[in-house]
Amino acid sequence: MSKKIILMGTDTVSGVAAEILDSIIEASKIKTLPYGNDIFTKECREKICKIFEKDDIEILPMMSGSASNSLAISSFLRSYGSVLCHSESHINKDEGGAPEFFSSGGKLISIFNESGKLIAEDLNNKINSLILKGPYNSRPSGVSITQLLENGTIYSIKEIKAISDVCKKHKLFLHMDGARFSNAMAFQESLSPADATWKIGIDCLSLGATKNGAMAAEVIIFFNSELAKEARNQLKQTGHLISKTRFISAQLNAWLNNGLWLTLAKSANEKAIYLSKKLSTLDEFQLLYPTEGNEIFFKIKNTTYKSILELNIIPNLWNKLDDEMLVIRFVTSFETEQSELDELISRIYNKFN
Amino acid sequence: MSKKIILMGTDTVSGVAAEILDSIIEASKIKTLPYGNDIFTKECREKICKIFEKDDIEILPMMSGSASNSLAISSFLRSYGSVLCHSESHINKDEGGAPEFFSSGGKLISIFNESGKLIAEDLNNKINSLILKGPYNSRPSGVSITQLLENGTIYSIKEIKAISDVCKKHKLFLHMDGARFSNAMAFQESLSPADATWKIGIDCLSLGATKNGAMAAEVIIFFNSELAKEARNQLKQTGHLISKTRFISAQLNAWLNNGLWLTLAKSANEKAIYLSKKLSTLDEFQLLYPTEGNEIFFKIKNTTYKSILELNIIPNLWNKLDDEMLVIRFVTSFETEQSELDELISRIYNKFN
Amino acid sequence: MSKKIILMGTDTVSGVAAEILDSIIEASKIKTLPYGNDIFTKECREKICKIFEKDDIEILPMMSGSASNSLAISSFLRSYGSVLCHSESHINKDEGGAPEFFSSGGKLISIFNESGKLIAEDLNNKINSLILKGPYNSRPSGVSITQLLENGTIYSIKEIKAISDVCKKHKLFLHMDGARFSNAMAFQESLSPADATWKIGIDCLSLGATKNGAMAAEVIIFFNSELAKEARNQLKQTGHLISKTRFISAQLNAWLNNGLWLTLAKSANEKAIYLSKKLSTLDEFQLLYPTEGNEIFFKIKNTTYKSILELNIIPNLWNKLDDEMLVIRFVTSFETEQSELDELISRIYNKFN
Amino acid sequence: MSKKIILMGTDTVSGVAAEILDSIIEASKIKTLPYGNDIFTKECREKICKIFEKDDIEILPMMSGSASNSLAISSFLRSYGSVLCHSESHINKDEGGAPEFFSSGGKLISIFNESGKLIAEDLNNKINSLILKGPYNSRPSGVSITQLLENGTIYSIKEIKAISDVCKKHKLFLHMDGARFSNAMAFQESLSPADATWKIGIDCLSLGATKNGAMAAEVIIFFNSELAKEARNQLKQTGHLISKTRFISAQLNAWLNNGLWLTLAKSANEKAIYLSKKLSTLDEFQLLYPTEGNEIFFKIKNTTYKSILELNIIPNLWNKLDDEMLVIRFVTSFETEQSELDELISRIYNKFN
C-alpha cells in the first residue's frame, strides 16, 4: 500500500499565499517604469520604514536569498577583506560560495560553537589574532549572524548586543541573514523589529519572504545608507537588477500588510512546536535544539532514517555524524496543515511507538 | 490641460499576460521539490525540446535577462578568454559589465559596423589579429550575437551561418542573446526555431519571455550539453538558483503553450510597424532602421524630443549624436493597445503635421 | 653560410646594466626587514620624491610591468567601473586581460584614433554617451594613456593636459603607463618629470625600468596617496608583495642614480633614430610613425618579412594588415651596440638596395 | 649600552647566496628571448626533471611565493570549488586571500588538528560531509599540505600517502606548499625528491628558493601536465609572466646545481636545532614542536617577550594565546652565522639563566 508523499524537509516546497498572488495580479494591471522606479517599490520602502521605525532606510528588493545575503555582505566586503561567521552558518555552508564570488575572493572566517551561535568573546579573540597578522592579511570587514539561527533557535537581544559591541570596537559592519527572520519575530511576540535589528547594531538585514509565503521575494534592508550605495553599484553587474521589480515589491507589500508576515510565520512555528513535542516523546528521536521557529532537528539512527523514508515521509538529511548516526531536519511552513502533520505523526507513531 | 502619460520607451513597462498569471496560480496549488527538481521545470524542458526539435537540450530557467546572457556566456568564457560581439550589443553596452563579472574578468572584444550587425569577414579578421598576439593574450573563446538585433532589425539565416562558419573554423562557441527572439521569430513566420538556432550553429540561446508577457522568466537553452554543465556549476554561486524555480517554469510553460509566445510577439510587432509607418511620414522623424520587430528608432532634433516629452509621451532617449541631434526609441509590447497608439500618433500629428 | 641571429624585436631581450647588478650585490650584504620595510625602499621613495619634485609621493616597487599597470588601474577601478583607453593601448591588447582580472571584471572601453593617441574631444564624447546610459551601466572611473606611446611617438604636454581636463571635468582618475617613460623623457630633454606627470594631472604612473636596464624592476608612483592605500590593500592578494622587496628597490636606486635612467634611454633612442633613418631610405620599408623613442614601425610586404627572417634578423611581427602587407617593429635597447646595428643595416642593404 | 639588532624572526631577512648572484651576472651577458623562451629556463626544467626523476614535468618559474602557491592551486580550483587545508596553513592564514582571489572566489575549507598536520581520516570525514550538501555547494577540488610544515615539523611519507589516498578516492588534486621544502629534504637526508612528492601522489609542488638563498625565485613543479596548461593560461593575467624570466631560472639553476639547495638548507637546519636545544633548557622557553627544519616555536610569557626585545633580539610574534602567554618564532637561514647565534644565546642566557 503506497502512501502519499509528505515533503517536510524544507519550507521551500510550499506555494504562495493567496494575498500575495492577488497582489501580483493587481500589480500587472498598470504600466509602470522598470528597474525599481515604480510605485510598488516606493510603497515597499515606506512600509519597511514604518515597520522598522526608521526614516532613512534604503531597500533592495531581490528574487534570490543567496543573492540577498551575498549582495548585502559584499556591500562592505572587498576581495582583500574577511567576514566572520559561525562555521555552520548558511552563508558558509550552503550558498555555494556566493559571498566569496560576489566579493571576488573575500574570505569567510568561521568560528565554531556547539550552540550554533557566534559568541561575542570568541569573536573578539579571533579578530585580535587576525589583526596580529598585520596589514597584508585578510582584514576583518564585518560579521554576519543568522536569525532565526540555522539550528532553529534564536539569538537573544543580549547576545546580539554583545556581538555588535565587538563589531563597534573593531569598526566592523554587522549583517543579519534573516531568511527566517519572520519566524524569529513571531516567536518573540513582544519584540519590535527595530529593537531586534538596528537598535542593537545591525547594519543591514537580508529579510526573506520566499520561505514564508512569497513566490520569490527577498529584500535587503540597509539601516546604513552608505552600504546601500555600494550594493546598488553591484546590483546590475551581478544580474540581480530585475526589470519588472514591481512584482517583487508587490509580493513584499502584501506580505508586510496587516502583519501577514507574522501571521504566516506564527502558523508555521506552532506547527513545528507541535511536531517537535510529539516526536520528542519517541526514544528514536533525539531533539537536538529547542524548537524556537519552524525548524526541528533530530539525531536519529541510520536505520530510523530509512524507516521514515519507507513511510513516504521526506525530511532533510542534514548531516552524517558517523556510520550509525544522522541528523535530520523537519521544516513546517505557513501552509502546513494540521491534517498533514497528524498523518505524519500517525505514520511514525505506528512504526516506532 | 494635462494629458495621460504614454510610456513607450521600453517593453518592460508592460504587465503579465493573463495565461501566465493563471499558470502561476496553478503552480502554487501543490507542494513540490525546490531548485528546479519539480514537474513544471521538467515539462518546460520537454516543451523546449519539442519546439526546437532536439532531444538532448538542457535548460536553465532564470529570472533575469542580464543573468541569462552572462551565465550563458560564462559557460564558455574563462577570465583569460574573450568573446567577440558588436560594439552596440546589449552585452557590451547595457549589462553593467555582468558578462565580465560572471567570468571574473573575461573580455568582450567589440567590432563596429553601421548595420548594427556583426559581419563574418570582420569577425574573421579580428580573430586572426588576436591570435597573432600569441598565447598570453586574451584568447577568443566565443562570439555573441543578438536576435532581434538591438536596432530592431533581423539577422538573416545566411548572415548567421557565415558567422557560425567563422566560429567553427576557429573553434569558438556561438551564443545568441534572444531577449526579443520571439519578436524575431514572429516576424519570420515560416522559419522554424531549430532552423533559426542550432541548425545554423548556435550553441546556446538566452531566450527571454519577460519583455513579451512574462513577469520574470528567461531560459538559457543549451544545444551543447557540455556548456550546461559548466553553467549549472556557476548557478548557485552567482545567486541565480531560485528556490521556487517552478514559478519561472510555470510562466515559461504558459508562454510556450499553443504558440502564445509568437502570438504575443506578433501583436507587438504589428503595433510597431504601424507606429513606424505613421511617424515616418513626418519630416521631423527620420527612421534609422527598417522595423522588423517591436523596436523603432528615429533620429530627431533635440527640440523635437522636448516637444514629444511635453506631449506626455515618453520614448527612450537612445543616444546623443551631437548638440543638436538625438536618437530615440519607441518599443511596443504584447499589451500595447491600438487606442494607445492612435492617441500617441494623434498628439504628435497635431504638433508636427 | 649561417649568420649570427640579431634579436631586434623587443627591448626585453636585453640584459642588466652593470650599475644595477652592482647595486643588487651590495643590497645582499646586509640583513634587513622584508616586504618593503627596508632602507633601500625608503631610499627609493626619497629619490623619486626628489626627481618628481613632490614630497608626498607614495611608491610600490613591483617586479612585473603587467602587474604595475594593473594594480595602478585597479586602485581606482571597481568591478562595476570602466577605464577609457586607446584601442591599441598595451593594457587593452597585450596584458592578457590583467586589468580586468585585477579589478574582478572592470571594463576597458577603447577609443580608436589613427594617431595611436587618445584625443581629448573623442574621450569627452565617449564619456557623455556612457553617462547617458544611466547609473546601472559601467561607470567611467578613469583614463589610461601610454607615454612613450605604443607606436613609438610621444604625447605632447598640451595633448595630455587636454585629456586631463576632460578627466577633471568628469571626476576621473588619470593613469600613465610608463613602461618606456624614460625613453619619452630622454627624447624631451628639457622637460622635467614633474611637468610631464602630476603637474598636468597624472594621478599615478607605472614607471618601468625592466625594458631599460633593470632585471625586473617597475615602480608605481602615486601622486594621489588615496590610490596608494587601495593598491597596497591589493598587493599581497594579487601575489605581488615580494618578500625581498629590497632587491627591486636596489635596482631602481641604481637606475635613478645620477640620471642613469635617462642616459640609458638616450642611448637606445639614438640607436633607434639611426636605424629608422637608414631603413626608411629603402622603398620596401614604409615608416609608419616618426621615431620619437626606441621603437620603429615599418609597413612591409609579407615577402620582405620573409627575406628579413632569412637574413637571421628577428623583428617583432606587429600586425597583419591583409594577405600581402604586414607591420613589423624594431626596438633598440640600452645595450644595443653600433656594430650590431651596422651589421643589421648592412645585411638589409645588401638584400634590398 | 645599545646592542646590535639581531633579526631572527624570519629567513626572508637574508641576502642572496654568492653562487646565485654569480649566476644572475652570467645570465645578463647574452641577449635571449623573453617570457621563459630562453635557454636558462630550458635548463631549469631539465635539472628539475633529473632531480625529481621524471621526464614530463612542466615548470613555471615565479618571483613570488604567494603567487606560486595561488597559481598552483588555481590550476585546479574554480570559483565554485574548494580546497581543503589545515586551519593554520600559510595559504589559509598568511597569503592575504591570494588563493581565493586567483580562483575568483574559490573557497579554502580548513580543518584543525593540534599537530598542525592535516589528518587523513579528518579529511575524509570532512569531504563526506561536504558531498552530502549536494551539487550546488562548494565542491571539493583539491587538498593542499605544507612541507616543511608551518610549525617547523615534517609530514612523514606515510602521513602524506594516507592523505593522497583520500584524494585519489574522491578524485581531488594534491598540492604541496614547499616554501621550505628544501629544509624538509635536508632533514630527511636519505629521502629522494621523487619519493617525497609525485611517487606518493603530489600533483604539483610550489618549490621555494627565496627563503633559502635566492633573491626572488620560486618554481611551480607540475607532475600533472594538464594543471600546467591551466596555470599557464592564468600566468599573464595575474601579472606573473615576467619578461626577463631567465633571471629567475638563472637563480634556480645555481640553487639546484650540485645540491646547493640542500647544502644551504642543511646549514640553516643545523643552526635551528642548535638554537632550539640551547633555549629549551630555559624554563622561560617552552618548545612547542620538535625542530625538524629551520623554524623554532616557543611558548613564552608576555614579559619574557618584552625582555627579548629589550635585548635587541627580534623574533616573530606568532600568536597571542591570551593576555599572558604568547608564541614566538625564531627562524635561521642559510647565512645565519654561528657567532650571531652565540651572541643571541649569550644575551638570553645572561638575562634568564
**Which residue segments constitute the domains of chain B, with CATH numbers given?**
6-13+261-352 (3.90.1150.10), 18-260 (3.40.640.10)
In the structure, what pLDDT confidence band is assigned to residue A151 with cuts at 50, 70 and 90? Answer: very high
Phi and psi, residue B297, nearest 5°? -115, 125
Q: Contacts of residue B37 in chain A, CB cutoff 8 Å?
A: none
Say how many CB pairs under 8 Å bridge A and C: 35
Interface-testing mutation among B136, B234, B240, B241, with chain D (most D C-beta atoms within 10 A): B136
| Integer Cα distance of D254 and D249 in angstroms | 9
Q: Is the pLDDT score of C1 beyond 60?
A: no
Pick from C27, C236, C239: which is nearest to D240 by CB? C239
Calculate the alpha carbon distances from B236 to A70, A153, B67 in Å.
11, 26, 12
| Integer Cα distance of D313 and D307 in angstroms | 9
| Integer Cα distance of D70 and B103 in angstroms | 18
Cβ of B105 and D105 within 8 Å? no
| Average of per-residue pLDDT across D88-115 | 96
Give chain A's mean pLDDT: 96
| Average of per-residue pLDDT across D325-351 | 97
Phi and psi, residue A7, nearest 5°? -85, 110
Calculate the alpha carbon distances from C14 to A164, B47, C214, D246 in Å.
58, 64, 9, 11
Cβ of A239 and B71 within 8 Å? yes
- Identify the CA nearest to C298 among candidates C331, C323, C265: C331
| Integer Cα distance of D320 and D298 in angstroms | 12
Helix crossing, D120-132 with D157-169: angle to 10°? 20
pLDDT in tens, A39-58: 999 999 999 999 999 999 99
| Sheet-wide strand order for A218-222 | A58-62, A218-222, A204-208, A173-178, A139-146, A81-86, A107-111
Q: Is A330 helix (H, G, I), strand (E, B) or coil?
A: strand
Cβ of A80 and C241 within 8 Å? no
Cβ of A15 and B21 within 8 Å? no
Cβ of D94 and A133 within 8 Å? yes
| Average of per-residue pLDDT across A128-134 | 86
- For residue D231, the model assigns a pLDDT of 96
User: How far out from the chain centre does Cα B252 lie?
Assistant: 16
Cβ of A96 and D79 within 8 Å? no
Pick from A98, A104, A210: which is nearest to B244 by CB? A210
**Over pLDDT 90: what percentage of chain C?**
95
Interface-testing mutation among A101, A215, A336, with chain B (most B C-beta atoms within 10 A): A215
Close Cβ partners of D185 (under 8 Å, ≥ 6 residues apart): D191, D193, D196, D261, D262, D265
Q: Is the pLDDT score of D134 beyond 80?
A: no
| Average of per-residue pLDDT across A91-106 | 96
| Integer Cα distance of A71 and A99 in angstroms | 7
pLDDT in tens, B312-323: 999 999 998 888
Say how many CB pairs under 8 Å bridge A and D: 73
- β pairing state of D313-314 and D6-7: parallel
Cell of A186: 513571531
Chains near C, with 3+ CB pairs < 8 A?
A, B, D
C324 CB burial (10 A radius; 0-12, 13-18, 19+):
exposed
Say how many CB pairs under 8 Å bridge C and D: 146
Q: Is C113 helix (H, G, I), strand (E, B) or coil?
A: coil
Q: Contacts of residue A136 in chain C, CB cutoff 8 Å?
A: 35, 235-236, 241
Q: Is the pLDDT score of C136 beyond 80?
A: no
Q: Is the pLDDT score of D1 beyond 70?
A: no
pLDDT in tens, D177-217: 999 999 999 999 999 999 999 999 999 999 999 999 999 99
- Identify the CA nearest to B241 among candidates B69, B64, B93, B75: B64
| Integer Cα distance of A129 and A79 in angstroms | 20
- Identify the CA nearest to B128 among candidates A342, A68, C317: C317
- Identify the CA nearest to D237 among candidates B141, B101, C79, C97: C97
Q: Is the pLDDT score of A185 beyond 60?
A: yes
Is C329 near chain B, with CB under 8 Å?
A: no
| Integer Cα distance of B37 and B246 in angstroms | 8
Pick from C80, C232, C233: which is nearest to A234 by CB? C80
Smallest CA–CA separation between C34 and chain B, in Å? 31
Q: Is A265 helix (H, G, I), strand (E, B) or coil?
A: helix
Pick from D14, D24, D237: which is nearest to C101 by CB? D237
- For residue B134, the model assigns a pLDDT of 75
Pick from A13, A21, A247: which is nearest to B34 by CB? A13
Within A281-335, where are the H helices? Answer: 302-310
pLDDT in tens, C113-128: 999 999 999 999 999 9
Cβ of B101 and A70 within 8 Å? no
Q: Is B333 helix (H, G, I), strand (E, B) or coil?
A: coil
**DSSP 8-class letter at B209:** -
Is B25 near chain A, with CB under 8 Å?
A: yes
Which is it for the CA torsion A45, A46, A51, A52, positive or negative?
positive
In our burial notation (b when 16+ CB lie closer than 10 A, e otherwise), range B75-96 reads bbbbbbbbbbbbbbbbbbbbbb
Range 241-260 of B in CB contact (< 8 A) with D = 241
| Integer Cα distance of C277 and D213 in angstroms | 47
**DSSP 8-class letter at C222:** E
Q: Is the pLDDT score of A281 beyond 60?
A: yes
| Integer Cα distance of C337 and C267 in angstroms | 9
Range 91-150 of C in CB contact (< 8 A) with B = 93-97, 100-108, 128-129, 132-133, 136-138
| Average of per-residue pLDDT across A124-129 | 93
Is D235 near chain B, with CB under 8 Å?
A: yes
pLDDT in tens, C248-276: 999 999 999 999 999 999 999 999 999 99
Pick from D35, D136, D233: which is nearest to B80 by CB? D233
pLDDT in tens, A187-216: 999 999 999 999 999 999 999 999 999 999
Give chain B's mean pLDDT: 96
Pick from D100, D136, D320: which is nearest to A107 by CB? D100
Strand partners for A143: A84, A174
Q: Is the pLDDT score of B218 beyond 70?
A: yes
**Over pLDDT 70: what percentage of chain A?**
99
- For residue A193, the model assigns a pLDDT of 98
Cβ of D64 and C66 within 8 Å? no
CB B123 within 8 A of CB B162: no
| Integer Cα distance of B256 and B261 in angstroms | 6
Smallest CA–CA separation between B8 and chain A, in Å? 10
- For residue D133, the model assigns a pLDDT of 78
Smallest CA–CA separation between B227 and chain D, in Å? 15
- For residue D138, the model assigns a pLDDT of 78
- For residue A134, the model assigns a pLDDT of 75
Helix crossing, D260-280 with D338-352: angle to 10°? 10
Interface-testing mutation among B60, B100, B237, with chain D (most D C-beta atoms within 10 A): B237
| Average of per-residue pLDDT across D221-238 | 96
Q: Contacts of residue C97 in chain B, CB cutoff 8 Å?
A: 79-80, 82, 105-107, 137-138
Pick from C79, C97, C104: which is nearest to B107 by CB? C97
Q: Contacts of residue B235 in chain D, CB cutoff 8 Å?
A: 136
- Identify the CA nearest to C101 among candidates D233, B142, D59: D233
| Integer Cα distance of C50 and C162 in angstroms | 26
Is C82 near chain B, with CB under 8 Å?
A: yes
Exposure on the CB side of residue A112, measured as CA atoms within 13 A:
6
Length in residues, chain C: 353
- For residue A328, the model assigns a pLDDT of 97
Interface-testing mutation among A66, A70, A100, A110, with chain D (most D C-beta atoms within 10 A): A100
- Identify the CA nearest to B221 among candidates B189, B154, B175: B175
D339 CB burial (10 A radius; 0-12, 13-18, 19+):
exposed
- For residue B322, the model assigns a pLDDT of 86
CB C120 within 8 A of CB C166: yes
Interface-testing mutation among D215, D220, D234, with chain C (most C C-beta atoms within 10 A): D215
Strand partners for C299: C286, C327
Cβ of C80 and A241 within 8 Å? no
Pick from B63, B71, B244: which is nearest to A242 by CB? B63
| Average of per-residue pLDDT across D130-150 | 89
Cβ of D211 and C243 within 8 Å? yes
In the structure, what pLDDT confidence band is assigned to residue A133 with cuts at 50, 70 and 90? Answer: confident
* CA nearest to A135 within chain D: D96
This prediction has a pTM of 0.96
Cβ of C79 and B100 within 8 Å? yes
| Average of per-residue pLDDT across B248-258 | 98
CB A16 within 8 A of CB B28: yes
| Integer Cα distance of A171 and A201 in angstroms | 12
Interface-testing mutation among B31, B41, B95, B332, with chain A (most A C-beta atoms within 10 A): B31
Chains near D, with 3+ CB pairs < 8 A?
A, B, C
In the structure, what pLDDT confidence band is assigned to residue B3 with cuts at 50, 70 and 90? Answer: confident
Cβ of A104 and C236 within 8 Å? no
| Sheet-wide strand order for A325-331 | A286-287, A295-301, A325-331, A316-320
| Average of per-residue pLDDT across D218-243 | 96
| Average of per-residue pLDDT across D156-182 | 98
The terminus-to-terminus CA distance of chain B in angstroms comes to: 21
- For residue A105, the model assigns a pLDDT of 96
Q: Contacts of residue B93 in chain C, CB cutoff 8 Å?
A: 133, 137
Kind and range of the H or E run holding D161: helix D157-169
| Integer Cα distance of D217 and D233 in angstroms | 20
Q: Is the pLDDT score of B353 beyond 90?
A: no
| Integer Cα distance of C90 and C329 in angstroms | 15
Smallest CA–CA separation between B162 and chain D, in Å? 29
Pick from C68, C102, C247: which is nearest to D216 by CB? C247
Pick from D100, D133, D320: which is nearest to A100 by CB? D100
Q: What is the CA radius of gyration of chain B?
A: 21
Close Cβ partners of C225 (under 8 Å, ≥ 6 residues apart): C56, C58
pLDDT in tens, D60-83: 999 999 999 999 999 999 999 999
| Integer Cα distance of C6 and D257 in angstroms | 31
pLDDT in tens, A53-84: 999 999 999 999 999 999 999 999 999 999 99
Cβ of C320 and B138 within 8 Å? no
- Identify the CA nearest to B48 among candidates B217, B200, B232: B217
